[in-house]
Amino acid sequence: TTPERTQLLRALGAEIVYSPGAEGSNGAISLAQELASENPELFMPFQYGNEANPRVHEEATGPEILAQVPDLDVFVAGLGTGGTLTGVGRCLKRERSGVRVVAAEPLPGELVSGLRSLDEGFVPPVLDASVLDDRYLVSNRDALVGVRRLMREEGLFAGLSSGAVLSVALRVAAVMGRGTIAMLLADGGWKYLSTDLWTRDLNELSDELEGSVLW
């Protein structure tokens, strides 16, 4: 994990327990569930399996997107817990026929912070895959290029998963011709300041991040 996350958690008084880095977020989820089952005083909100996650996006995020983008053709978001894609997707499919819902997903074996590959063995319980029209695979390097473009061209201080979403949105735009795309950037850049994400050599940083988990 990056120092920014650790510092924030410690400032909030949290005790930090680390899972093996090679296991990625799947290992962290498994360890958290184990600790919660062993100690009745612990509560695990469990975003991946809590129906409140997709429900709030169906009831709030989806309607907000439709209100702001009435001529929407495609919605793109990162595949993380599955809550955003499921909730927003259900709302869009119900309220606007023809809207496509597209997931940005890491290439198998690649670790893009904030996103997960369904091929890695864990499918979030809240994910309703029936709302997905397409899954676009994205690499760490794609995410890095995207996050730098967001800062340089739009002044948006976003994180790696947001760079991945931009990368996918641009690929969708390249093949659709005309139309309107909305993308949801759920990751802030503050968590990556210590990695010099915006200033280091792209090739060097891409090689260093390969196989790393920046949760």
How much is the average pLDDT of 81-107?
Answer: 96
DSSP helix/strand/coil, 138: strand
Kindly tell me if the per-residue pLDDT of 215 is higher than 70. no
Determine the Cα–Cα distance for residues 125 and 106; give it in Å rounded to an integer. 19
Structure confidence at residue 196 as a pLDDT band (50, 70, 90): confident
Report whether 138 contacts 107 (CB < 8 A).
Answer: yes
Concatenating the DSSP letter of every residue in 71-104 gives T--EEEEE-SSSHHHHHHHHHHHHHSTT-EEEEE
Determine the Cα–Cα distance for residues 202 and 91; give it in Å rounded to an integer. 38
CA 182 to mean position of chain CA atoms: 15
Structural domains of the chain in order of their starting residue, each with its CATH number: 3-38 (no CATH), 52-198 (3.40.50.1100)
User: pLDDT (tens digit, 9 = 90+) per residue, 148-174?
Assistant: 999 999 999 999 999 999 999 999 999
> Is the pTM above the cut of 0.95?
no
Report whether 145 contacts 102 (CB < 8 A).
Answer: no
User: pLDDT (tens digit, 9 = 90+) per residue, 10-40?
Assistant: 999 999 999 987 777 788 889 999 999 999 9
Q: How far is CA 132 from CA 23, 44, 45, 128, 200, in A?
A: 27, 27, 25, 8, 35
pLDDT averaged over every residue in the chain: 90
